[in-house]
Amino acid sequence: MSDWKAKRFWKDTTVEACDNGFRVLLDGRPVKTPAKTSFAVPTRALAEKIATEWQAQEDEVRPDTMPFTRMANSAIDKVTPQHSAVAEMLAEYGGTDLICYRADGPQELIDLQAQAWDPLLAWAKDALNATLTPVEGVMFASQPKDSLARLEAQVKALEPFQLAAFHDLVALSGSLIIAFALIHAHDTADNLWDMSRIDETWQISQWGEDEENEQMVGVKRQSFMDAAAFYALL
The per-residue pLDDT for range 87-144, each reduced to its tens digit, is: 999 999 999 999 999 999 999 999 999 999 999 999 999 999 999 999 998 889 999 9
DSSP string for residues in the chain = -TT--PBP--S-EEEEEETTEEEEEETTEEPB-TT--B--BS-HHHHHHHHHHHHT--SB--GGG-HHHHHHHHIIIIIGGGHHHHHHHHHGGGGG-GGGEE----HHHHHHHHHHHHHHHHHHHHHS------EESSS-----HHHHHHHHHHHHTS-HHHHHHHHHHHHHHT-HHHHHHHHTTSS-HHHHHHHHTHHHHHHHHHH---HHHHHHHHHHHHHHHHHHHHHHT-
Instruction: Report mean pLDDT in 10-residue bins for the chain, 234 residues.
Output: 66 96 97 96 98 94 95 98 98 98 96 98 98 92 97 98 98 98 98 98 90 92 98 98
Per-residue confidence (pLDDT) for residue 137, from 0 to 100? 87
Q: What's the whole-model pTM score? A: 0.95
Per-residue confidence (pLDDT) for residue 135, from 0 to 100? 95
